[in-house]
Chains A and B, each alone.
Chain A
Amino acid sequence: MAVDYATLKKGGFMRQKQKNNFSLRLRVVGGNLTAVQLAKIAEVAEKFGDGHVHLTSRQSVEIPFVKLDDIDKVKAALADGGVEPGVCGPRVRTVTACQGEAICPSGCIDTYALAKELDERYFAKELPHKFKFGITGCQNNCLKSEENDLGIKGGIKVAWKKENCISCGVCVKACRSEAISLQDGKITLDESKCNYCGRCCKSCPTDAWEQTSGYIVSFGGLFGNKIAKGEPIIPFIEDHDKLMEICDAAVQFFAENANAGERFRSCLERVGFDKFKEKIEEVYYG
């Protein structure tokens, strides 16, 4: 029987240059694995691979040198440790994330919770081409959100709380975009300069900033054969459900408008960013 490479690829088995050997891509969400999963992966790599694993550029793990005949046994063994194969090909890929607010002092949003939610919502969804989500917790952008087809960056929208302020001046220096000034004990925030990094409120000794966490979304990033930065088409999103609606609308636009084998960016360029913007603004302001 002929080997159905497309199905194998869909199931995360990547054909190697060595005949009948596959590099098995695993389903990893937001770059997190439990110790139990890691132990199982090590065991499978030892038993069915050549004893090593590869950490992919997008936070996944691959077990190379898995033999074609062992595929079912490997899947069963992995399932035993709560590990599933990942995906490749024209569908929604691994959702990547930095550690975010749950762990990182700079984080503005819970990136892992969001990654899990997006993974549950879209994982392996069939589309005209690959589609990548990446989530970064703050402006430091450790996860490079704009490289993704849809990138999400956490931010904090702030408003000065006069009654708590002791005019210490720490926030003026903590701000890297010169959006804050202090004169005669009064703070002025230039909202047009604010990039929602949250450094002012994180450094404030008296909690004199009202904080609203939210999302800065970019669309159409590419970092492969062609390189393009994802574009922020809409303003800061404060509402989580609104973010989900925006993601749904972007994925739907891609599904409806892209030709087979055409990345989101190329689709947006061909169909027109304006047309896409119109759709997304409908959802944003709707």
Chain B
Amino acid sequence: MAEFEINESVDITDVVCPTTFVKAKVALEELDEGQILSVRMNDGEPVQNVPRSIKEEGHKILKLIDNEDGTYDLIVQKVGE
């Protein structure tokens, strides 16, 4: 997706709830405000819940990309320090 310049990626397909969100949150903490993170997650519970949890933390969700292999990439822009 050319419309986003991704600064960092994190794969949370190797963990289960609630570690999925925690791993994504930790990755976001490493970034500077305005930078973009791509979070790879599994279909099912992670993709149902993680985007909402990230939104509730105040970050900006830009896109959810279906990789068509049972995983999704959530593109998130960090908001706040």
Residues of A within 8 A of B (CB): 105, 166, 168-170, 173-174, 176, 199, 202-205
Return the contact of B51 from the options A105, A166, A176, A203 (Cβ within 8 A).
A203
Whether B64 contacts A169 by the Cβ 8 Å rule is: yes
B52 at the interface (CB under 8 A from A): yes
Task: Name the distance in Å between B23's Cβ and chain A's nearest Cβ.
Answer: 19
* Closest CB pairs A-B (n = 3): A205-B61, A203-B52, A169-B64
Interface residues on B, range: 10 to 19
B31 at the interface (CB under 8 A from A): no
Whether A199 contacts B48 by the Cβ 8 Å rule is: yes
Q: Report how far A166 CA is from B55 CA in the complex, Å.
A: 15
Whether B64 contacts A168 by the Cβ 8 Å rule is: yes
14 A-B interface contacts by CB (under 8 A): A105-B56, A168-B61, A168-B64, A169-B63, A170-B74, A173-B51, A173-B64, A174-B52, A176-B48, A199-B52, A202-B52, A205-B55, A205-B60, A205-B62
Whether B62 contacts A168 by the Cβ 8 Å rule is: yes
Task: Name the distance in Å between B67's Cβ and chain A's nearest Cβ.
Answer: 12
Q: Report how far A203 CA is from B57 CA in the complex, Å.
A: 11
Task: Name the distance in Å between A193's Cβ and chain B's nearest Cβ.
Answer: 16
Task: Name the distance in Å between B47's Cβ and chain A's nearest Cβ.
Answer: 4
Whether A170 contacts B64 by the Cβ 8 Å rule is: yes
Whether B56 contacts A170 by the Cβ 8 Å rule is: no
Whether B62 contacts A166 by the Cβ 8 Å rule is: yes
* B contact residues around A205 at 8 Å (CB): 51, 55, 60-62
B8 at the interface (CB under 8 A from A): no
Q: Report how far A192 CA is from B76 CA in the complex, Å.
A: 32
Q: Which residue of chain A has the shortest Cβ distance to B61 in the bound complex?
A: A205
* A contact residues around B56 at 8 Å (CB): 105
